[in-house]
Structure 1
Amino acid sequence: MDMHRGRADGARAVRERRSGATNLLVFVALLPLDALVGGYAWLASGMEGWAAAHNGEEPAVPVTELAGSGGVLAAVGLALCWGRCWGAAVSQLALTAVLMAWLLSFDG
């Protein structure tokens, strides 16, 4: 029994990438998770600014919360790469980069 997923003649089997419909379905299925994690990052950013304005301080960006949220979304994108859903992975990582850049741009 070959443990490396090779064929009987010794040639290695090539893993094919996923179709466009599969990539789209996976990306749409992950949108609720993206909304949940992105919503947390947006809420943390907004609450930090509100609290600073309420106390008369200079608002600061909550980098720790944004880095954690961005890390979760980037890990999902890397898992999609491992699952050969390249289109969904690129979309996930692009969405993460745009969201985190937008939230980090808020400085008051």
Structure 2
Amino acid sequence: MDMDTRTDGIREGREPRSGGANLLVFLAVLPLDALAGGYAWLVVGIGGWADAHNGAEATVPAVELVASGGVLAAVGLALCWGRYRGAAVVQFALTASLMTWLLSSYD
């Protein structure tokens, strides 16, 4: 008899990982987060500076923000798929707060 099935033949779900494993995995993906988030921050900062320097109204660099936010969200989905639920929640919260902060500079 398979250890993953109950007596009625229904397979039990996999349990999430421990808190320490979630922390280690989140710390391991943090450099990728810094790259994607840093790119978005740089694009918003340089774009806003260039628009202000040219005397134009600042425009939202939507493609770059969607791309970097998509990378961060994809990392969160991969963490979910790997059963690192705690790390995925922190990843999604980090992505949402970063994108909100970057977009708050535009009125």
TM range (shorter): 0.7 to 0.9
Take 1:34 and 1:43, find their aligned partners in 2: how far apart are those partners?
Answer: 14
8 Å Cα contact 1:23/1:86 also seen in 2? yes
- Answering whether residue 50 of structure 2 is matched by residue 51 of structure 1, we say yes
- Answering whether residue 103 of structure 2 is matched by residue 104 of structure 1, we say yes
1:11 shift after superposition = 4.6
Bigger drift between 70-79 and 91-100 goes to 70-79
> What's the Cα RMSD here?
2.1
Take 1:38 and 1:66, find their aligned partners in 2: how far apart are those partners?
Answer: 9
* TM-score (ref. length: structure 2): 0.88
State the identity as a percent.
67
* TM-score (ref. length: structure 1): 0.87
In structure 1, the residue matched to 2:67 is 68
Gaps of 5+ in 1: none
Runs of 4+, deviation exceeding 4 Å: none
1:36 shift after superposition = 0.3
Amino acid at match of 1:33: L
Take 2:10 and 2:104, find their aligned partners in 1: how far apart are those partners?
Answer: 51
Aligned length: 105
Take 2:76 and 2:46, find their aligned partners in 1: how far apart are those partners?
Answer: 27
